[in-house]
Amino acid sequence: MTDISTGAARSLPQRARKSRFSAKAVLPYIFILPPVMYLAVFMFWPLARQIYLSFTKTRLINPSRSQFIGLDNYDRLLASPDFYSALHITVVYSVMAVVLGVALGTIAALALNRPFPGRTIVRAVLLFGWAVPNVAASLVWLWIFNERSGVLNRIVTGLGLDSVPWLTTTHMALPSVLLVTVWQVAPFVMLVMLAALQSVPEEVREAARIDNADKLNIFRAVTLPHVMPTLQLVSLLVAVWSIRRFDIIYLLTGGGPIGSTSTLIVKLRQTAFENHDLGLASAYGVIGLILALSVATIHALFNRHRAKRSMQ
Amino acid sequence: MPQITLGNIRKSFGSSTVIPDFSAQIEDGEFLVLLGPSGCGKSTLLRMIAGLSDISGGDLRFDGTAVNEWTPSQRGVAFVFQSYALYPHMTVRENIAFPLIMDAFQKWYHIPVVNSVMRWKLMRRPDIAERTDHIARQLELTPMMDRRPANLSGGQRQRVALARSLVRDPSLYLLDEPLSNLDAKLRTQMRSEISALHKRVKKTFIYVTHDQVEAMTMATKIIVMNKGEIQQIGTPDEIYANPANTFVARFVGAPPMNLLNVRQHGTVLSLDGGAEWTHPGILPTKQASLGIRPENLNLRPEGEGLIPIEVSLVERLGAETLLGCRMVSKAASETLLGEDLIFVRVQGNPQIEASARFGLSYAADDVRWYDQTSGQAVTVCDNSPLSRCA
């Protein structure tokens, strides 16, 4: 008995040492290494670099000669009316993109969730906006919005109205950009929401019918709670994408006219590559990052609240 | 309480017909069990009665009024689903109160903020709160009123589903295999709870199951179904004692009724392989299969009785023992005949081992005869006053 126990005691540390380096222990790290490397090179390093740059005075012409200036860039940012304008436009653009994109996408998903002849074709047509690359879509819309030869103004003048300067007046530019954004975002929302709607258990819906619930109440009591987590997730995605969207806005208006569509990201590009001020541009980037992170935090808090409630 | 009449009900999905022609009448206060194998159309029939599925043809009448076009809520039925179908994000209290809230719901409550306020107010309305609490007390759900279905056991969820269906005091209860997701012990308990509930509320219950034990223990009337057609309608006793055809004979009873494809020569019955015995009663006028329940076969010492057998399977269940036996030919006593086992049920545990040999005897009254081609029951007539032809 004693022999056995001492033998076991002796072999235990050996085994422990062996297992620490065994293939089984190392394997998970090998598997997660490629994504970690990818994220480190293309995400974490540039992010850290950006945060660092936001505390420096760095010119695009000679980035290596940067000078640490503490919070000066943020001071300049908070003192500049351009920043508040960009922040305001970013928030308005993102909120409207989420509200309109998610609402339209969800309505389309609800319509497509019931069988009707030609459903597959309608779904394919509605997905078109999402399938077209952003640059191609923006160029097509640029042509549609063209004040003289664009399709939209032909319709407007055909109706006997004056042609509309879609992208060239301050009060029309942001709604026009939003129109294209929603056209791109809504199909994605529709696709995700359709999948969520199709997973609503039919029996629970039937139970509600038995319980004398009308269609709106069935939607409120059964469908909506079931798809709510998906709805929140898709809203988060659309919000984050909108905060950092660059291509559509830049290609359609370039941030103009008179900065009326100049979001934080458009402003970042302008500051970095037109004004050559990498430090200030990085500060814009950090503010954008904080904005995106706060949206994600709100989503996480919602999730936690839901998890807590379901544990009751 | 309605009398339900199903008149030539038909159900098709595209070109495939699930229920070709179903007619039956269900009386007030009955506990009707639709019994049949999976896919026989019993759940489809229940869903048609509830209004959850369209009726392809025929008439469904409640007290003589055709209700084919009525919505589920107009029919005033309660439906208990196999998966319970509870509202997962609502508490037990909200689940139970939901039908009452929906009954009191006005169209204008749909206005966004009004909706939440009114639902909150309705939940607290004295009559609704009282009724909810009363039903919860009846089903012993009071301690878990603020919990959500995800945190309840299967039996508790089933009770919440029952409570939700009870709360509106409907005149017709439809239950679609409500116990099939429960374990054996809980199933026995819930079975008696549902039976007690039926006796207490004195309403009509239609209960769908493929479990014959549930059917036999709870039903006042059973409809045995196969491939969308009625095989037999009767009380549990009638169905067990006098199956209308070989399908019912084989489906009801565990183990099922023994069916032997015997040949008649005068009063002598024989089986392929040479087993022969003299039947102790009157035989049908044409060739028929002999059916006898396992408990109606009596074991006799080897050499006695009518049919010599050898035990090849023993299932000791404690209170009773099931013996699976093969017939032994009288001519060549080594040959065991037939592929199908003859089941014999004996009381207690008489310590019988496999390969033991016995003789079997039976009383002629316990035998049921079935036409060998159609499978339908054949009546045997004699002149005695006890004859079933009388």
Average pLDDT over residues B158-176: 89
The closest CB to that of B73, out of A210, A221, A311, belongs to: A210
Label residue A131 exposed, middle or buried (CB < 10 Å: 0-12, 13-18, 19+). Answer: exposed
Q: Pick A238 or A258 by higher pLDDT.
A: A238
Q: Mutation test of the interface with chain B: which of A199, A200, A203, A211, choosing the one with the most B Cβ atoms within 10 A?
A: A211
The predicted structure's pLDDT at residue B390: 40
- Inter-chain touch A211–B151, beta carbons under 8 Å: no
Q: Is the pLDDT of residue A2 over 50?
A: no
Average pLDDT over residues A203-219: 91
User: Is residue A57 domain-resident?
Assistant: no
CATH code: domain of residue A279: 1.10.3720.10
pLDDT class of A14 with cuts at 50, 70, 90: low
Residue A140, domain extent:
67-310
- Inter-chain touch B151–A312, beta carbons under 8 Å: yes
Average pLDDT over residues B177-187: 85
pLDDT class of B379 with cuts at 50, 70, 90: confident
Amino acid making up residue B24? A
Query: Looking at CA atoms only, how far is residue B87 from chain A in angstroms?
Result: 7
Q: Which residues contact A31 (CB under 8 A, 6 or more apart)?
A: none
Share of chain B above pLDDT 90, in %: 44
Q: Mutation test of the interface with chain B: which of A210, A220, A223, A305, choosing the one with the most B Cβ atoms within 10 A?
A: A210
The predicted structure's pLDDT at residue A85: 92
Q: Is the pLDDT of residue B117 over 70?
A: yes
Closest C-alpha to A167, from A155, A157, A158, A176? A176
User: Is residue A284 domain-resident?
Assistant: yes
Residue/partner pairs of A49-52 with CB below 8 Å, 24 or more apart: A50/A282, A50/A285, A50/A286, A51/A282, A51/A286
* Mean pLDDT, chain B, integer: 87
Chain A, nearest residue to B173 by Cα: A210
A248-260 per-position pLDDT tens digit: 999 999 887 888 8
Distance, in Å, from the CA atom of B249 to the CA atom of B259, rounded to the nearest integer, reads 8
Q: Is the pLDDT of residue A218 over 90?
A: yes
* Mean pLDDT, chain A, integer: 87
Q: Is the pLDDT of residue A239 over 70?
A: yes
Chain B, nearest residue to A228 by Cα: B89
Q: Is the pLDDT of residue B14 over 90?
A: no
Q: Pick A187 or B168 by higher pLDDT.
A: A187
User: Is residue A24 domain-resident?
Assistant: no
Distance, in Å, from the CA atom of A237 to the CA atom of A195, rounded to the nearest integer, reads 16
Domain total of chain A: 1
Average pLDDT over residues A103-108: 94
Distance, in Å, from the CA atom of B32 to the CA atom of B233, rounded to the nearest integer, reads 10
B243-291 per-position pLDDT tens digit: 999 999 999 988 889 998 888 888 888 887 667 888 888 888 888 899 9
Q: Is the pLDDT of residue B236 over 70?
A: yes
Chain B residues touching A214 at Cβ < 8 A? 105
User: Is residue A194 domain-resident?
Assistant: yes
Distance, in Å, from the CA atom of A200 to the CA atom of A263, rounded to the nearest integer, reads 38
- Inter-chain touch B164–A217, beta carbons under 8 Å: no
Q: Is the pLDDT of residue B231 over 90?
A: yes
Label residue A141 exposed, middle or buried (CB < 10 Å: 0-12, 13-18, 19+). Answer: buried
In the beta sheet, which residues pair with residue B269? B264, B277
3-state helix, strand, coil in chain B (%, to 5): 30, 30, 40
Which residue numbers of B have CB closer than 8 Å to A's CBs? 50, 52, 71-73, 77-79, 81-83, 85-91, 98-99, 102-103, 105, 110, 115, 146-148, 150-151, 164, 168
B327-370 per-position pLDDT tens digit: 876 555 555 555 578 899 999 888 888 888 898 999 988 999 99
The backbone torsions φ and ψ at residue B24, rounded to the nearest 5 degrees and listed phi first, read -165, 165
- Inter-chain touch A310–B102, beta carbons under 8 Å: no
| Every domain of chain B and the residues it spans | 4-250, 257-378
Q: Is the pLDDT of residue A8 over 50?
A: no
Q: Is the pLDDT of residue A178 over 90?
A: yes
Please name the CATH architecture into which domain B257-378 falls: Beta Barrel (2.40)
Q: Which CATH superfamily is domain B4-250 in?
A: P-loop containing nucleotide triphosphate hydrolases (3.40.50.300)
Which of A84-98, A147-161, B163-177, B337-351 has maximum average pLDDT?
A: A84-98
- Inter-chain touch A309–B91, beta carbons under 8 Å: no
Q: Is the pLDDT of residue B1 over 60?
A: no
Report ipTM for this prediction. Answer: 0.81
Average pLDDT over residues B114-133: 90
Peptide bond into B255 cis (omega under 30): yes
Average pLDDT over residues A47-76: 88
The predicted structure's pLDDT at residue B332: 53
Average pLDDT over residues A166-170: 87
Average pLDDT over residues A267-280: 90
User: Is residue A260 domain-resident?
Assistant: yes
Q: How many CB atoms lie within 10 A of CB B257?
A: 22
pLDDT class of A204 with cuts at 50, 70, 90: very high
User: Is residue A2 domain-resident?
Assistant: no
